[in-house]
Amino acid sequence: MGKATGFLEYERADAAYLPVSERIKNWNEFVVPQTPSGIETQAARCMDCGVAFCHAAFVVDGQSIGCPLSNLIPEINDLVYRGEIEKAYHRLIKTHPFPEFTGRVCPALCEGSCTLGEHEPAVTVKGIERYVVDEMTRLGKVVPRMPGVSTGKRVAVIGSGPSGLACADMLNRLGDAVTVFERADRPGGLLMYGIPNMKLDKSIVLDRVGIMRDEGVRFELGAEVGADYPALSVMKDFDAIVLCCGAVSERTLDIRGADLFGVMTALEFLTRSTANILDGTIIDGLPNIDGKSVVVVGGGDTGTDCVASAIRRGAASVAQLEIMPEPPAERAENNPWPLWPKVKKTDYGQLEAAELFGADPREYGATVKAVIGDGRKVTGVKTVRVEWRADGAPREVPGTERERPCDIVLTAMGFTGPERLLIDQLSLGTDARGLVACRGPGSYHTNTPTVFAAGDMRRGPSLVVWAIEEGRRAARACHAYLSER
């Protein structure tokens, strides 16, 4: 598993970023490709740990341990260390259909459970994965893999986000005829419109969809099942349906002034921003941020993407309010290895804001209490400090209210669940969170016999890597059901 003494000889070295002053001038990806010798050195750090948790795919008390896809990480690292990139790639795609996505946007649960990470910086698993797939793409070796059988069964996959694409890919490999319905004008779901281009170039998504088309998967774009195409008609036309529609109902501000012009949810902003970049035209509802002051309400990856996108749109200042307390610099006692480390991380957006504006834009333990305006548009926000009680409930700190001027408020406060349209049309059961209920733990089969569900719609808002694994599991369940009919 890599070089036997590599973890003692080499230090972790992540891929470099282009300088902030250069990368904020455009929407291009800014990770500098690593060299073959550099990536081999990083793979050499994978230690012969005996029991590797990096690919464990466990969930303990709701927390992930290792890669949900069960990627064969130690074997891949060993092959990369030996310079056998093509073999490493074929080992990778045994479990993972889209490493080009997760190599860019995954938080790397595998690294959080790396044995070396218990006492040293973890192996750069995510960077190695990205290098392998990008190098194979450069060599022209990421090519269609045609299914070897045909069952004659027809399956409709609703939604082309990561779970929908993964589900369609697996069903197609199992021999079922798959049609993917996507209501947007481009495929990819949140991969296309929810993640900005500098983090995941849209040509990468389109290239993968092109490969899937060559493999036999059909894509119907601009087709909203439940509206343009009644759900019951889809049930009649296909042997089964797999719902992969995500949990895209966003949590919004329920405060005074939330309806003013200049207040926008993160998904609205990121979607319109990406559409503007791809189409090169003015997009209705996309505010002009050039020279404006922006407040982002909410942390996490989406909040970071809003910070970075606002910067590229010319924001004069960006502040990011996070209601949760500041995470510790190191693992707390109740967050031991190999659980995902709940520690403070400074991502690309915060790094950019710090260099441009002189400080980290994040303010922890703070939220917006009201949006101030002139009757039509935003002119500021009223914020307040928050402390968390022992019972886990937030409490405003008296005397900490503050008004600050701003022009734009972007809310990145997470998602509440799936939209109801298809749930209601298909008479599906839901759980207490409004998610599609299936027939038991680990089941992807809904109460409607020919309907399955996967991804955030079934699991709740989660990570791209979990969405991919959900899609693959749902595909297997759907195929098994159809095989018995």
Q: Give me the pLDDT at residue 392, please.
A: 84
Model confidence at 205, pLDDT cuts 50, 70, 90, reads very high
Q: What is the CATH number of the domain that holds 125?
A: 1.10.1060.10
pLDDT at 1: 59
Same domain membership, residue 244 and residue 256 = no
Structure tokens at 465: 């890597």
What is the average pLDDT value for the chain, to the nearest integer? 96
CB atoms inside a 10 Å sphere around CB 158? 28
Residue 374 sits in the same domain as residue 257:
yes
Ramachandran sector of residue 135 (left: φ over 0; alpha: ψ -120 to 50; beta: rest): alpha
Please say if the pLDDT value at position 100 is more than 80: yes
Residues 368 and 450 in one domain: no
Q: Are 323 and 240 part of one and the same domain?
A: no
Q: pLDDT tens digits, residue range 39-48?
A: 999 999 998 8
At 46-67, the pLDDT tens digits run 988 989 999 998 888 888 899 9
Return the pLDDT at 278.
96
Q: Residue 469 has what pLDDT?
A: 97
- Residue 143 inside a domain? The answer is no
Looking at the structure, tell me whether residues 268 and 401 fall in a common domain.
Answer: yes
Domain for residue 398, yes or no?
Answer: yes
Which of 386, 413, 440 is the endpoint of a domain? 413
pLDDT at 2 over 80: no
331 in the same domain as 239: no
Same domain, 158 and 54: no
Residue 168 maps to a domain: yes
The model's confidence at residue 254, banded by pLDDT at 50, 70 and 90, is very high
pLDDT of residue 349: 97
Single out the residue in 413, 431, 452 at which a domain terminates: 413
Does residue 377 fall inside a structural domain?
yes
Range of the domain at 209: 154-248+416-483
Structure tokens at 301: 């990856």
Domain with residue 214: its CATH number is: 3.50.50.60
Tell me the pLDDT tens digit for each residue of 280-333.
Answer: 998 999 999 999 999 999 989 999 999 999 999 999 999 999 999 999 999 999
Among residues 288, 282, 281, the alpha carbon closest in space to that of 261 is found at 288
144: in domain: no
* Residue closest to 167 by CA, chosen among 462, 456, 416, 430: 456
User: Per DSSP, which regions of 186-342 are E strands?
Assistant: 218-221, 240-243, 249-250, 263-265, 293-297, 317-322
> Which amino acid would we find at residue 97?
P
Do 341 and 457 fall within a single domain? no
Q: Structurally, how many domains does the chain consist of? A: 3
How many Å from the N-terminal Cα to the C-terminal Cα in the chain?
44
In a shared domain, residues 127 and 113: yes
Q: Which backbone phi and psi does 352 adopt, to 5 degrees?
A: -65, -45
Q: What is the per-residue pLDDT for 62?
A: 80
pTM attached to this predicted model: 0.96
In angstroms, the CA 39 to CA 285 distance is 43
Residue whose tokens read 């012969």? 48
The answer to whether residue 146 is domain-embedded is no
Q: Which of 413, 436, 458 is the last residue of a domain?
A: 413
Give the tens place of pLDDT for each residue, 261-270: 999 999 999 9
**Percent of residues, the chain, with pLDDT higher than 70:** 100
Say yes or no: 257 and 241 in one domain. no
Q: Is the same domain home to 100 and 52? A: yes
Q: Determine, yes or no, domain membership for 291.
A: yes
Average pLDDT over residues 228-240: 95
Q: What angle do CA 8, 14, 18 make, to 5 degrees?
A: 150
Q: Quote the pLDDT of residue 204.
A: 98
The per-residue pLDDT for range 431-467, each reduced to its tens digit, is 999 999 999 989 999 999 999 999 999 999 999 999 9
What is the distance of C-alpha 321 from the center of its chain? 21
pLDDT at residue number 325:
93
The model's pLDDT over 358-416, given as tens digits with 9 standing for 90+, comes to 999 999 999 999 999 998 999 999 999 999 988 888 999 999 999 999 999 999 999 99
Residues 129 and 228 in one domain: no
Cα separations in angstroms, 156 against 144, 164, 214, 231, 476 = 21, 10, 18, 11, 14
84 in any annotated domain: yes
- Model confidence pLDDT, tens digit, residues 168-201: 999 999 999 999 999 999 999 999 999 999 999 9
**How high is the pLDDT of residue 59?**
87
